[in-house]
Structure formats: structure tokens, C-alpha cells
């Protein structure tokens, strides 16, 4: 949803300033490394890394019949990467739901 690591930091920092103590965010993702994230294979994330991007960073757009949506950036991250991205934003990862690496997970972020 946030598209890039820079946008994650900017948005979470902004939300931290605007929300009260104890606020929570439920953040969902799927790791790009275990086949859980759609359309990401090993070559894709290796190419991303070679270009200085996060492995799970993708550009997508929707197509429905003859309608084509705008291009959007999307960021799939592992549990470890999520913890790293949250650092310094005013939020902390309190818990993560979901155990299997190939499945989606939900992190509870708290101020």
C-alpha cells in the first residue's frame, strides 16, 4: 500500500504525530521470499536488489474489461523488514499474527 520504504517512513511518522498515545495500526503483508506474495519470483526480487529497491517492491495496475487503472507502487515485506521499516517512526511492532512464512501476516503497531 505504501509503495516504497521512504513513503512508509513518511506516512507512519505523520500518523504518529496525529494520533494519541496507545493508538494502533493493523498492518498486513506477505513476505516476497517464500512464494506468498503474488507475481514475485526469485528473478524479480534479485533484479530489484540489483537496482537498489526492496525485493518486495512492485508496480501494478488494474485492468477490468476495457478500463485500465493508473500504475501504483506496492510493497511486500517480511516480518523482519516490517520491524526495520517501523523503527524511528514513533510506532513499535507489538505482535505479529500468522506463523507460516508463505502466508500473509498481520502486525499490530502501537505508539
Average confidence (pLDDT) over 72-84 = 93
Query: Is the pTM of the predicted complex or chain greater than 0.75?
Result: yes
CA atoms of 74 and 56, how far apart (whole Å): 8
For the chain, how big is the Rg over CA atoms in Å? 15
CA atoms of 37 and 87, how far apart (whole Å): 23
What single-letter DSSP state applies at residue 70? P
Question: For the segment 16-71, what is each residue's pLDDT rounded down to a tens digit?
Answer: 999 999 999 999 998 888 766 666 777 888 899 999 999 999 888 999 999 999 99
Amino acid at each position: 500500500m505504501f509503495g516504497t520504504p521512504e513513503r512508509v517512513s513518511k506516512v507512519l511518522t505523520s500518523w504518529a504525530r496525529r494520533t494519541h498515545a496507545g493508538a494502533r495500526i493493523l498492518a498486513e503483508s506477505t513476505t516476497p521470499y517464500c512464494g506468498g506474495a503474488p507475481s514475485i519470483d526469485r528473478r524479480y526480487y534479485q533484479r530489484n536488489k540489483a537496482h537498489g529497491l526492496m525485493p518486495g517492491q512492485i508496480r501494478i495496475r488494474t485492468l477490468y474489461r476495457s478500463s485500465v487503472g493508473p500504475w501504483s507502487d506496492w510493497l511486500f515485506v517480511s516480518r523482519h523488514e516490517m520491524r526495520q521499516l517501523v523503527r524511528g517512526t514513533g510506532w513499535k511492532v507489538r505482535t505479529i499474527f500468522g506463523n507460516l512464512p508463505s502466508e500473509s501476516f498481520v502486525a499490530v503497531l502501537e505508539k
